[in-house]
Amino acid sequence: MGAHRAKRRGPRRGPSVKPTPRVDAAPVAPAPPSVAPSAAATPGRRKASRHSGRRRNLFPGLPPLPIAGGIAALVVSAGGAITVAHPALVAGESRIAGASALNGTSGAASTNLLNDRTAAVSRDSRRDALEDAADQKLVAQAEQQARERNAALAKFAQQAEAQAAKIALNQWVLPVDGYDLTAEFGDWGLWASYHTGLDFSAPYGAPIKAMANGEITEVGYDGSYGNKVVITLDDGTELWFCHMSDFAVSSGETVRAGEVIGYIGDTGNTTGPHLHLEVRPGAGDPVDPYAAMLVHGLQP
């Protein structure tokens, strides 16, 4: 047959492809059952596969996280705790020693404890000094106040003694011993008007005494008052002693409380021997002698 038989050839191949270099890939876990198997590779194309290269570290300057965790665990187990050094140590003023696994302390911690203790002692010393100064100031103030108080008390005591001496010097006394009150201030009946004094009934000739310190300003007979002696006190108050039988002083003399100035009588308008006593402040109108005597510590 004229036609010659074609020469048998092998299967036709595609374009030549260079072989892919071998890569050590980590074992790939089998796909979960829910994932359908990938389709068959098309002849002449590369089969798709999961990238199995190593992951690159995001922070090239730092060790991987597992390694960092292991280092931290070793540090904690060896040193017990991580201690922050004092700023002065960080600045290089003190040498920082490594942590000791025997006692759980570090050179930084030891230095900090020493510095803190020194600072605490210094603070305590300053505080003690300030407290001592404050205490001394308070003591000085208290002593000054005590001195001022004692001086004021001493001055007050002197004034009180002077006043007591003055009161004793001007103390009023009762004008008659052994008497009866027979008429009081303001009574009506036997007088042209109300009674202007206090009557002390006593035996005829009994002594009459000056009730207070003063000057004799009048001695003589005065109508219905009979024989009368007037004593004027320092404040101008007049004391009238009336109906005397006789006088024991003269006008112008100075007398003291308790001195005899006359004697009980019945001169003038009387119904019997007695002393008629009047108290006239500022040489004016008479006031109740009983009340005046109470003011001066007397109980008639």
Q: Which two tokens stand for residue 53?
A: 């290269």
**pLDDT score recorded for residue 235:** 92
**pLDDT score recorded for residue 163:** 77
Pairing of strands 214-221, 254-255: antiparallel
Which stretches in the chain have pLDDT values below 70? 1-121, 189-192
CA distance 264 to 201: 9
CA distance 228 to 184: 19
Q: Which residues contact 175 (CB under 8 A, 6 or more apart)?
A: 200, 208, 209, 210, 211, 241, 275, 277
**pLDDT score recorded for residue 26:** 46
Q: Which residues contact 206 (CB under 8 A, 6 or more apart)?
A: 176, 177, 178, 263, 264
**pLDDT score recorded for residue 68:** 58
CA distance 106 to 81: 9
Q: How far is residue 190 CA from its own chain's centroid?
A: 71
Total residue length of the chain: 300
**pLDDT score recorded for residue 61:** 58
Whether the Cβ atoms of residue 195 and residue 187 lie closer than 8 Å to each other: yes
**pLDDT score recorded for residue 120:** 67
Q: Which two tokens stand for residue 161?
A: 């003694």
**pLDDT score recorded for residue 190:** 66
**pLDDT score recorded for residue 220:** 97
Task: Round the CA-based radius of gyration of the chain to a whole number and report it.
Answer: 66
Whether the Cβ atoms of residue 273 and residue 279 lie closer than 8 Å to each other: no
**pLDDT score recorded for residue 37:** 43
